[in-house]
Structure 1
């Protein structure tokens, strides 16, 4: 099995990506990106994503329609882009729910995308390097939050 697919499965497992109803702060007022390529270039331009972690974006879909795409920036930091804000909020809620007493989940987000650092909560996660998520949020004019 391709390592990127395994990583996707790990995130889905770690975050319970079953797309449960979201109850977080709306982000419609935050600017959006038009594609996964756009958001990846913006994040990569600020933090230098690891070439070994990137691979091709993985398409995600809900039961009715395509939902978005996902790709890794580092071994523990994932970039997610969505076609609709509703799907973004559902996935963000699922990612935030991965936080537990042993660690936090760090999220940088805008209207239809977010970057999530799961290094503290993913079992056997050994980040290849740390990314300062707060600085990334400031550089991208995005919201920064810590769940957990």
Structure 2
């Protein structure tokens, strides 16, 4: 039986790029999850994300998104949106994108069928380990969306 995966993606030293990493840390620090929920700070792991994806279904990905819009605004996507090219899934120009990583998982007959993306538009991508004020304000909101989604699925998540 596969676990439910929560993946925080991003570069922690590029301010808002670290949104996903900060959010999973917040989840770990503030909630108690059952054993069937796997939470990972994926960072910029790229292809090394494959084993996590193969062990989990569904997967909830928390990241920033490079689209036009108001910095700090929240955007939800599903796997169909990714396949339709509605947003960039590469963590950097030097890494494989999520679709390519999923293809590797498919070759091993272990790709997750359900992936949801919880994203915000970054405000600042400067050298810093702190989120900008506007993006930091979204961290708790997105974390609570994930907890609500898990609760809807019948997963018992407790506040610390």
Query: Do the two structures share a fold, i.e. TM-score over 0.5?
Result: no
TM-score, with length taken from structure 1: 0.29
Q: Which one has a bigger Cα radius of gyration?
A: 2
TM-score, with length taken from structure 2: 0.28
Compare relative contact order (CA 8 Å, sep 6+) and give the higher one, 1 or 2.
2
